[in-house]
Amino acid sequence: MRILIVLVRLAWRYLWRNHRRTIIMLGAIVLGTWAMIFMTALTRGMVDQMIADGISAIPGHVQVHGQGYLDDPSVTRSIPLSDEEFAARFADAGFSAWATRVRVPAVITSERESRGVTLLGIDPAAERDFSFVDYGAVDGRFLESPEDSGIVIGAKLADTLETRVGKRVVLMSQDPDNDIADRGFRVVGVFEANMQAFEEGFVFVGKATAQKMLRMGTATTEAVFVGDDYRNVEPVYDKVAAGVGDAVTVSRWTEVDTYLGTMLKTMDGFVLVWMIVIFLALSFGLVNTLVMAVFERVREIGLMLALGMKPAMILGQIIIESMMLLALGLLIGTALAWASIVPLEGGIDLSAVGEGMEMWGASSVLYPKLYLEDVVLANVVVLVLGFFASLSPAWRASRYEPVEAITKVG
């Protein structure tokens, strides 16, 4: 411990002996740290938003379907469990939210146009908390009950159909006997969503109304369950799987939306790779700085050895010096990253490339997300790898023979 204090003081003083070099290196570390954390926050923000959008759009965290529904999304593949059975099993299971719904492909027709859409027959109260539609912000009104006879469609769809609140549209789909099931609806609300694809692709009607139209009794085609953390859906999955039995398919959102699932994993990998790349770019400068720092004080190292310092202390001194430099850079860099992310948390407007972001599956407003884990990861990556990078110059410094070091000229 006392040796440590000696070494820390020496290292600190040496660090500032050549303040220009230290400041330049510090600048590089600060920039690198900032870039690591800033970029990670942007990436996290984007992926979070994508997944939040994606999950709220459809999958929830865990889904239950009738056998074969995922491959053949038809009313004939409804879930062989009634709403009462679901309620009996899951009402007190502690999920953040859950709901059963009717979800089938359909065609919507106005007097002008037709489009293919996904019909969602929902219980509006049950889905309020995880729907991508903000009920309160709907032009007109959102559905009020499962028996609501109206329909709520997206703004973009309303545009192409040349319809609006108060006008009528017709939905067509099939019933379980493959007869055409159709019904006229009055448009009661028009919603806006982060993604144009949602506005074009989804229409909401009351669950009971949908069941009546599709002549499917009280059956549903999908049950969705939402837990606390989209990254860890296993607890929800296990509970649901245990509750519903074998007659149905239970899937995690990563399985239903494989693109999003892969995206999440890939981005986790990307974040780490990015940090390591930045570190490697820094490491050349770091090693260089240490080599120079050792080189210009070979004689002093010899002196310390002659005075009775053990080689291990020299090694420690150089490593401490390097760690101090890194820690200082990390501190400033992290603070800077934080300071530059906080003002952006209200969202960065990317609507200039909005449709491109949508191709990536992301919305056109990017909310950077600073996670403590990422800050820690960046710091740990730099410190740990920095430690290994300093080993070689520090080792060399400790291997000097005192006589040679002292008599070294120049």
Partner 1 sequence: MTAVRCIDICKTYTQGDVDIKALDHLSIEIEKGEFVCLMSPSGGGKTTLLNAIGGLDIPDSGEVWVGGQRIDQMSKGELAELRLANIGFVFQAYNLIPVLTARENVEFVMQVQGVRPAERHVKSMVLLEEVGLEGLEDRLPAEMSGGQQQRVAVARAIVSRPELVLADEPTANLDSHTAADLMELFVQLNEHHQTTFVIATHDQGVMRYAKRLVRMRDGRIVDDVQQNAA
Partner 2 sequence: MNIVLRLAWRNIWRQPRRTWLTTGAMVFSNILLVFMISLQFGMYGLMINNTLQVFSGHMQVQAPGYVDDAKMRQVVDDVQPLAAHLREALGSDTVAARARAFALASSEDRTYGIAIYGVEPRHEPRVSNLPGLVEHGRYLQDDDAYEIVIGSVLARNLQVATGDELTLLGSGVDGSFAAAVVVVAGIFESGVKDIDRNIAQMPLTAFQDMFYMNGAGHQVVILAPSLADAPELQARVEALVGADDGLVVQDWDALQPGLRQAIQADMSSAFFMYGILVVLVAFSVLNTQLMSVLERTHEFGVVMALGMKPGLLGRIVLLESALMGLLGFVLGVIAGTALTAWLSVRGFTMPGMDEMAAQFNLPARIYPPVTLLSVAIGPFVVFVFTLLASVYPAWRLRRLHPVEAMRVN
Interface ranges with partner 1 (CB under 8 A): 2-3, 5-6, 10, 13-14, 17, 297, 299-300, 303-311, 313, 401-403, 406
Closer residue to partner 2 in complex, CB, 47/313: 47
The per-type count for the chain, helices as H runs and strands as E runs, is: 15, 12
Output the CA angle 402-406-408, nearest 5 degrees. 115
Residue 358 Cβ vs partner 1, minimum distance, rounded to whole Å: 58
Could you say whether residue 409 binds partner 2 (CB under 8 A)? no
3 state SS of 181: strand
Is 328 exposed, middle or buried, given 0-12, 13-18 or 19+ CB atoms closer than 10 A? middle
- Report in angstroms how near the CB of residue 326 gets to partner 1 at its nearest: 20
Which residues of 123-255 form beta strands (DSSP E)?
139-140, 150-154, 168-174, 180-191, 202-206, 222-226, 248-252
Q: Which is nearer to partner 1, 13 or 231 (CB)?
A: 13
Rounded Cα gap, residues 294 and 285, in angstroms: 14
**What are the distances in angstroms from CA 315 to CA 188, 270, 387?**
75, 34, 12
125 counts as binding partner 2 under rule CB under 8 A: no
Instruction: Please state the closest distance from residue 294 (CB atom) to partner 1, in A.
Output: 14
| Surface-to-core class of residue 46, CB atoms within 10 Å of its CB (0-12 exposed, 13-18 middle, 19+ buried) | buried
Which residue from 155, 106, 148 is spatially nearest to 127, judged by alpha carbons?
Answer: 148
Shortest CB 400 distance to partner 1, Å: 11
Q: Is 218 in the site for partner 2 (CB under 8 A)?
A: no
CB nearer to partner 1: give 25 or 385: 25
- Of 126 and 292, which CB lies nearer to partner 2 in the complex structure? 292
Residue 17: contacted member of partner 2, partner 1, none (CB under 5 to 8 Å, by partner type) = partner 1
SS3 call for 187: strand
Range in contact with partner 2 (rule: CB under 8 A) among 78-86, 157-165, 215-223, 398-406: 157-165
268 binds, among partner 2, partner 1, none (CB under 5 to 8 A by kind): none
Reduced to 3 states (helix: H, G, I; strand: E, B; else coil), residue 195 is coil
Residues 6+ apart with CB under 8 A from 377: 40, 271, 272, 275
Question: Sign of the C-alpha dihedral, residues 128, 130, 131, 133?
Answer: positive
Q: Could you tell which of partner 1, partner 2, none binds residue 285, using a CB distance below 5 to 8 A set by kind?
A: partner 2
**Is 10 within 8 Å of 317 (Cβ atoms)?**
yes
- Give the separation between CA 274 and CA 33, rounded to whole angstroms: 11
Residue from 80, 218, 259, 407 that binds partner 2 (CB under 8 A)? 259
Cβ neighbours of residue 182 closer than 8 Å, sequence gap 6 or more: 170, 171, 172, 173, 213
For residue 43, the number of C-alpha atoms closer than 13 Å in the C-beta half-sphere is 20
Binding mask 171-210 for partner 2 (x = CB under 8 A): -xxx---x-x------------------------------
Which of partner 2, partner 1, none does residue 32 bind (CB under 5 to 8 Å by kind)?
partner 2
Q: Among residue numbers 350 through 369, which ones bind partner 2 (CB under 8 A)? A: 350, 352-361
Q: How far is the CB of 251 from partner 2 (least distance, A)?
A: 16
Does 347 engage in binding with partner 2 (CB under 8 A)? Answer: no
The window from 121-129, 302-310, 335-343, 347-355 that contacts partner 2 (CB under 8 A) reads 347-355
Q: Which residues bind partner 2 (CB under 8 A)?
A: 18, 20-21, 24-25, 27-28, 31-32, 35, 39, 42, 71-74, 76, 105-107, 109, 111-117, 159-160, 162, 172-174, 178, 180, 258-259, 261-263, 265-266, 269, 274, 277-278, 280-282, 284-285, 287-289, 291-292, 295-296, 350, 352-361
